[in-house]
Amino acid sequence: MPKVKVDWTKCKGCGTCADACPSLVFELQELSDFPGSKKSVPVRAEDCVLCLACEASCPTGAITVEE
């Protein structure tokens, strides 16, 4: 199963990854470590098809996908 990781210190919560993902892997959520802002969370990583659209579209390089 793919490992989808988000570096929340780099993530700006723009939602580009969620828009690019054909499998709806990501949701924007407010995390307790980052109050007042939303971050991309891979809530359905098991649905990842390894297209890497999220990695390619992320303007801050916050996302990595590994097999």
CA distance 37 to 46: 25
pLDDT beyond 90 at 23: yes
pLDDT score of 36: 95
The per-residue pLDDT for 33 is: 96
**Are 31 and 41 spatial neighbours (Cβ–Cβ below 8 Å)?**
yes
| Sequence-distant (≥ 6) Cβ neighbours of residue 20 within 8 angstroms | 53, 54, 56, 57
Q: Mind listing the domains of the chain with CATH numbers? A: 3-66 (3.30.70.20)
pTM of the entire predicted model: 0.91
CA gap 27, 44 in Å, rounded = 9
